Amino acid sequence: MKPFEFQRATDPSEAVATATADPGTRYLAGGTNLVDHLKLGITAPERLIDITRLPLDGIEELPDGGLRLGAMVRNSDLAAHPQVRSRYPVLSQALLSGASGQLRNAATTGGNLLQRTRCVYFQDVTTPCNKREPGSGCSALGGYTRYHAILGASEHCLAVNPSDMSVALAALDAHVTVLGTDGERSIPVTEFHRLPGDEPNRDTVLEHGDLITAVELPALPAGTRSAYRKVRDRASYAFALVSVAAVVDFEDDGGAGTSAGPPTFGTVRLALGGVAHKPWRATVAEEALRGAPATEENIRQALEAELAQAVPLHDNAFKIPMARNTATAVLRELATGSGTGTPTPENREQP
C-alpha cells in the first residue's frame, strides 16, 4: 500500500471539485471494498477523501411516492428501514443476503453500487487482468471461471458484478443521482453499470470525480410483489453463483391466483445477478411474460428464451439451468403469493 494523503469532505461540491481536478484521488466511504483493494495493491491512490460525514445518510419519501436513499446510508440501516421492508422487499432481501452483519454496518449505498468484481485474477496483482491493468490480458480466459459471466462478456473480460443490492435496484428501475462538476444528473441503474466490451477497466459510466449522492426508488403500483433469491456455495456469507430479483404485478386481482388457474402477469421486471458484468435485466423473459398466465411452463420457456443467448465457460455451464430454475422458482412463488423467495427448510418447520 503506497502512502496517501487523507482529507475529510465537508461539502459534496467541494469534494467533487477536488477529486475531479486530481486523478490520484479516490473517495472513501465504508471502505469495505476500497481498503481491501488498497491492501491487495489493486488501486494505489495518492489521496483519499472521506465522504462518510457528508449529510447524505437520510432516507426520504419522494412526492411521487418513491423513496430517496442517501448514498451514505449503511446497508444494514437501509435493509431495516420500515418503508424499504414493506414496499421494496426485494431490496431489503438483496442487501441482507450480501456480505455479513459487520460489513453491512459499514458498507454504504453508494459504495455497494461501485463494488468491484471478485474475479480471482483481478484480485491477484501477479496475474494479467484487463480490468486492473488494461491491455495486460484476461487470465480468466482459459482459467478458473466458476464465478464468471455467461451473458454479455467479451474476449477482454469475463468478470461478473458481485453486488446483490444492484441486482435488486436494476429490477426496481431505480435511478442513481450523481453529482459532477456540471451539477447533478440522474442515471438509471440499468445504464449505470457497463458490459465490459473493450474497456473492462470501466465498471460504470461514472467519470472520475463523480460523486453518488443518492439512489431513487420509483413508486410501485399497488399489488406489486417483489423478491430476491440468491444461490451460493454456502448457506451465508458468500458471493452469488446466481441471483434473481423480481418485481411483478398481475392483471387480475393482485396475484393470488384462483381455482380456475394461475394469475396473469402484468409487468414483470426481472434481473439476474452473478451472470454478467452488470446486473442483467432479463428483457427477453420480461417481454415474453407480460400479460401471460403465470404457468410453470410459460415461466420456464421465457427463461429458456432469455438464456438462449448465454455463452457458458469451462466451469460455469451450470449457471444456465441454475438461473433458469431459480428465476422460475421466484416467479412461481410470487405468482402463488408467498412472495418472499424460498424459505429455508428449517424456517418452514418453525411457525
Please list every residue from 3 through 32 that binds other proteins, using CB under 8 A.
3-6, 8, 28, 31-32
Contact segment (CB under 8 A) with other proteins among 1-9, 55-63, 178-186, 276-284 equals: 1-9
In the list 101, 137, 291, 337, the residue contacting other proteins (rule: CB under 8 A) is 101
CA–CA separation, 208 and 292 (whole Å): 44
**Binders of other proteins among 307-336, rule CB under 8 A?**
318, 321-322, 325-326, 328-329
**Of the two residues 71 and 176, which places its CB atom closer to other proteins in the complex?**
71
Q: Is 236 an interacting residue with respect to other proteins (CB under 8 A)?
A: yes
Residue (124 or 251) nearer to other proteins, CB: 124
Subset of residues 262 to 291 that bind other proteins, contact rule: CB under 8 A: none
Beta bridge partner(s), residue 343 = none
DSSP codes joined into one string, 179-232: EETTEEEEEEHHHHB---TT-TT--BSPPTT-EEEEEEEPP--TT-EEEEEEEE
Question: In one letter, which amino acid is 220?
Answer: L
Total chain residues near other proteins (CB under 8 A)? 74
Nearer to other proteins, 127 or 177 (CB): 127
CA distance 176 to 71: 9
Please answer whether residues 306 and 281 qualify as being in contact, where contact means their C-beta atoms are separated by less than 8 angstroms: no
Min dist CB 112 to other proteins, Å, is 14
Residue 347 neighbours by CB under 8 Å, 6+ apart: none
Residue that the C-alpha cell 457458458 belongs to: 312
Q: Please say whether the beta carbons of 192 and 204 come within 8 A.
A: yes
Nearest approach, Cβ of residue 98 and other proteins (Å): 9
Distance, in Å, from the CA atom of 174 to the CA atom of 93, rounded to the nearest integer, reads 16
Q: How far is the CB of 201 from other proteins (least distance, A)?
A: 20
Q: Which is nearer to other proteins, 153 or 231 (CB)?
A: 231
* Residue (241 or 248) nearer to other proteins, CB: 241
Q: Of 22, 43, 68, 124, which one interacts with other proteins (CB under 8 A)?
A: 124
User: How would you classify the pairing of strands 67-70 and 59-61?
Assistant: antiparallel
- For residue 29, CA distances in Å to 26, 49, 92, 251 come to 10, 9, 20, 42
Please choose, out of 16-24, 183-191, 201-209, 338-346, the segment that lies near other proteins by the rule CB under 8 A: 338-346
At its nearest, how many Å lie between other proteins and the CB of residue 215? 20
Site for other proteins in 47-76 (CB under 8 A): 48, 50, 52, 76
Please list every residue from 237 through 256 that binds other proteins, using CB under 8 A: 237-239, 241
The single residue among 13, 102, 186, 309 that binds other proteins, judged by CB under 8 A, is: 102
Question: Minimum distance from CB of 114 to other proteins (Å)?
Answer: 15
Residue 15 to residue 13: CA distance in whole angstroms: 5
Which residues in 5-74 belong to E strands, given as ranges?
5-8, 25-28, 47-50, 59-61, 67-70
Specify the length of the chain in residues: 351
The DSSP code sequence of 256-312 is: --BTTB--BEEEEEEEEESSSSS-EE-HHHHHHHTT-B--HHHHHHHHHHHHTT---
Segment 213-232, which members bind other proteins (CB under 8 A)?
Answer: 231
The residue within the footprint of other proteins, chosen from 26, 66, 93, 298 (CB under 8 A), is 93
Minimum distance, C-beta of residue 12 to other proteins, in the bound complex (Å):
17
Provide the minimum distance between the beta carbon of 148 and other proteins in the complex, in angstroms, as a whole number: 12
Interacting stretch for other proteins, rule CB under 8 A, among 65-73, 122-130, 165-173, 267-275? 122-130
Query: Is residue 126 near other proteins by the rule CB under 8 A?
Result: yes
Query: Crossing angle of helices 296-307/319-336, nearest 10°?
Result: 150
